[in-house]
Structure 1
């Protein structure tokens, strides 16, 4: 058993979604991951730069505060006016806390709640130390960033250390980092969205040849095996088109062989069947024994049905798209084309006890683009079916009318009709709705084949109060691309 690696990756099997969505997912997912990584890196860089800027400001403030404390002998003179203190504590949302102490913890002034610096065996004098900590403010724990520096005071023979600390809440730093992130992420998001739109448009344009190929395949008839043409398509699509064309060529050869066999067999059978029919007619004229005459009549009827079947097979072969006869189209007057077979079949209708009539509801030529021989064959088949199955005493009417952009031929009878469940099935080859009559089940299949070759359609409808109406619709000349 052959297994694909797609089956081992959940949700990534290309058959589970369209190729467009699959490519879009694979192209947009890395963009989203990179966008998230860029946002994370940007936020951390913003925090680091904010720390550097605010740390520098805190270091400057700690030096300014240290200058206000002047050593006098073994003591200290604190020159820290109230105005300077108010400046430090002016912003209630981003307050600056300070502490001056002499190690090992003798408090001099400021806030006693600042976190102590980490233990340093030999602190460097006048150099800043920065660290994070927490302090309690109004009963709540608050993270702070602290700048500390050690200073020396006192006599030379009795030096002492003084610790100056400046602390500031981290809210301003995080706010600054978020602003930097927002100012960076917003244009980055716009660029990602714009890139996603470009990627979407690029995928759509790149897959357009596949859409055109799909349209070429979907729009063609089931028996149209002509090669696909994609001259302007990319190389990858050319490879797919060549593979499909190879398959179509193989199928075409197989179907053509079968059709040639049917056509050749039908041609070979026409002559002996015609001879058999003539001989049985002569034998019937000369036979006097009733039993022998009945047997000869059955042979004659069988020969007649076989000859009709052969003629229908030949007509079906001519209607196929590969037939040269099916390709030649010209402007044809459908009114005249329908009137001729209706008039020619009047003697046969009278012999069968059927009233055959023709109605021209146009009053002028009604031109369609098509093959006159094939269209005539389709009309003959429709009238022939009505005469075969309507029954003695029935009325058959051939009617031509013009609709919006279409010409319509109706063959209407008041015979037994066809049940609605069988009206689509009878268009299949060798399918019959009844065992009555001597038809072979190819008439309506031939009509549909010819109608499709002319971009038209054929449908069956009930005819109130009883009977059947067959509608053959063809595009008017100039309204079709055929």
Structure 2
């Protein structure tokens, strides 16, 4: 899975921040627990010292001066239950409200405070407590005794205090992390903006624009890449120049012999027809040679036109504004004699309205290459005249809307089989198997129209016939539309 560079950088910058935030939260919680323990231990130590003062040695015994009021003060805590116990020797209960476990150190030392965690049973439940213990000596010197004073409090208050400290610390820290993340994102976008400008510069280029990229628009880190691209563009431009030179040389070298072959064959046919006893077999063979030469010449012309219509051709870059309606009228007028010789009624529909398009009134001026568009229209009219059949009609129509300028070539012939409609725009695919064409006419139309940012479609007409439609964007949308390709489909 490919990840955008900005996302890759963002992940590598934010993930360490998240890890550090979690580590800071854990450290903060442990520090909060430690300071909560210190606060609770201080209060427990003061309580244990106060309790120890209520038990006074007297000779060989102990005087317990622990009035009810003092007991209530010690046992009553607004937040937690307080447990206390006095034992002497340690473990032998003398005073208190609960049996507390002994310290882990069996001999903590006289007047030494000792803090530890323990568990007590309270109404069938186990309660975790924090215990403060003080060991005191009492009795006669010849019979020393030891007394253990213990005061405990539930650890629940410690957890609450630690959570409060963590919350008060984590919220500002989280806000700082969010602010830092936003600054990181803004920094990444700002740092990658030169790459975005370089991308826009390349994407706005026309297909035939092979000029070198400016190095000053590229950041220093990618100037080597831009330099490599400029070297590649220069090599491609040189290759295209050689290709165009080869195409021009091939056109000259192939057209001249074929034109001579056609002329000589036509002269031979005329001479053969002027004889009193012409040879039928020789006449048929010469007629086949003439048809083959004509078909080869047409194929070469179509291949050269297709090469010029390719997106790599420099001809595509020379775009200008022209009137599609006027161009279609001129081509239709030129092809009327050819249509009449084939017994076909060819005409231009000058009506201002169309049943499937908005009323005319929008300009029919488009942005493109007039010579290439002339080839596209000629191919559509030529296909209609070739395959419509005798005693049919071919109508050319140009209409405009707010977004599109549309050219239709309708014929009342036999049409194309529905199964072949999706494939007729492929190269060397013929709409009729008995046709003499080379299967490149519609492929040329498609390449030319796509280079102009438009689309070409075929649809059957009722009761019979075929409509070939070219759609070109209005000049306002043509500059953007020419950057993308529109595929050929059937009309709805």
CA distance in 2: counterparts of 1:424 and 1:240, whole angstroms: 42
- Asked if 2 retains the 8 angstrom alpha-carbon contact of 1:226 and 1:248, the reply is yes
- Asked if 1 retains the 8 angstrom alpha-carbon contact of 2:321 and 2:368, the reply is yes
Match of 2:62 among 76, 80, 83: 76
Find the counterpart in structure 1 of residue 25 from structure 2: 39
- Asked if 2 retains the 8 angstrom alpha-carbon contact of 1:263 and 1:313, the reply is no
Change in CA separation of 1:227 and 1:389 when aligned onto 2, cut-off 3 Å: farther
- Secondary structure of 1:345's partner? helix
The Cα shift of 1:265 comes to 1.1
Aligned length: 467
Find the counterpart in structure 1 of residue 366 from structure 2: 368
1:405 aligns with 2:403: yes
CA distance in 1: counterparts of 2:351 and 2:404, whole angstroms: 14
- Asked if 1 retains the 8 angstrom alpha-carbon contact of 2:403 and 2:474, the reply is yes
The Cα shift of 1:72 comes to 2.6
The Cα shift of 1:302 comes to 1.4
Change in CA separation of 1:227 and 1:385 when aligned onto 2, cut-off 3 Å: farther
1:168 aligns with 2:147: no
- Secondary structure of 2:424's partner? helix
Change in CA separation of 1:372 and 1:20 when aligned onto 2, cut-off 3 Å: same
Task: Trace 1:427-438 onto structure 2 (pairs within 5 A).
Answer: 427-438=425-436
Task: Trace 1:118-157 onto structure 2 (pairs within 5 A).
Answer: 118-121=104-107, 123-157=108-142
The Cα shift of 1:203 comes to 5.4
CA distance in 2: counterparts of 1:50 and 1:436, whole angstroms: 98
Find the counterpart in structure 1 of residue 76 from structure 2: 90
Task: Trace 1:367-386 onto structure 2 (pairs within 5 A).
Answer: 367-386=365-384
Find the counterpart in structure 1 of residue 486 from structure 2: none
The Cα shift of 1:332 comes to 1.1
Find the counterpart in structure 2 of residue 48 from structure 1: 34
Q: Point out where structure 1 has 5 or more consecutive residues left out of the alignment.
A: 1-14
Q: Point out where structure 2 has 5 or more consecutive residues left out of the alignment.
A: 353-359, 483-492
Out of 448-457 and 56-65, give the one that drifted further.
448-457
CA distance in 1: counterparts of 2:239 and 2:348, whole angstroms: 43
Change in CA separation of 1:106 and 1:445 when aligned onto 2, cut-off 3 Å: closer
Match of 1:272 among 257, 263, 287: 257
Task: Trace 1:212-231 onto structure 2 (pairs within 5 A).
Answer: none
Residue-by-residue CA offset, 1:291-317 (whole Å, 9 max, x unaligned)? 222211111111111222222233334
- Asked if 2 retains the 8 angstrom alpha-carbon contact of 1:47 and 1:177, the reply is yes
CA distance in 1: counterparts of 2:429 and 2:327, whole angstroms: 27
CA distance in 2: counterparts of 1:239 and 1:65, whole angstroms: 82
Find the counterpart in structure 2 of residue 9 from structure 1: none
- Secondary structure of 1:37's partner? helix
Change in CA separation of 1:374 and 1:253 when aligned onto 2, cut-off 3 Å: same
Find the counterpart in structure 1 of residue 466 from structure 2: 468
CA distance in 1: counterparts of 2:133 and 2:187, whole angstroms: 58
Out of 75-84 and 180-189, give the one that drifted further.
180-189
The Cα shift of 1:36 comes to 2.8
Match of 1:455 among 420, 444, 453: 453
- Asked if 2 retains the 8 angstrom alpha-carbon contact of 1:361 and 1:401, the reply is no
Find the counterpart in structure 2 of residue 395 from structure 1: 393
> TM-score when scaled to structure 2?
0.84
Change in CA separation of 1:81 and 1:233 when aligned onto 2, cut-off 3 Å: farther
- Asked if 1 retains the 8 angstrom alpha-carbon contact of 2:90 and 2:148, the reply is no
- Asked if 2 retains the 8 angstrom alpha-carbon contact of 1:369 and 1:477, the reply is yes
1:346 aligns with 2:332: no
- Asked if 2 retains the 8 angstrom alpha-carbon contact of 1:390 and 1:416, the reply is yes
- Asked if 1 retains the 8 angstrom alpha-carbon contact of 2:379 and 2:442, the reply is yes
The Cα shift of 1:147 comes to 0.9
Match of 1:57 among 35, 38, 43: 43
Residue-by-residue CA offset, 1:173-213 (whole Å, 9 max, x unaligned)? 12211222232233334444454555556556666777777
The Cα shift of 1:399 comes to 0.6
- Secondary structure of 1:336's partner? helix
- Secondary structure of 2:80's partner? coil
Find the counterpart in structure 1 of residue 162 from structure 2: 177
The Cα shift of 1:220 comes to 7.9
CA distance in 1: counterparts of 2:164 and 2:462, whole angstroms: 80
- Asked if 2 retains the 8 angstrom alpha-carbon contact of 1:358 and 1:397, the reply is yes
CA distance in 1: counterparts of 2:203 and 2:314, whole angstroms: 24
The Cα shift of 1:249 comes to 5.6
1:326 aligns with 2:316: yes
Find the counterpart in structure 1 of residue 295 from structure 2: 305
- Secondary structure of 2:25's partner? helix
- Asked if 2 retains the 8 angstrom alpha-carbon contact of 1:335 and 1:360, the reply is no
Find the counterpart in structure 1 of residue 270 from structure 2: 285
The Cα shift of 1:92 comes to 7.3
Change in CA separation of 1:463 and 1:243 when aligned onto 2, cut-off 3 Å: farther
CA RMSD of aligned residues (A): 3.2
Find the counterpart in structure 1 of residue 488 from structure 2: none
- Secondary structure of 2:475's partner? coil
CA distance in 2: counterparts of 1:222 and 1:428, whole angstroms: 22
> TM-score when scaled to structure 1?
0.85
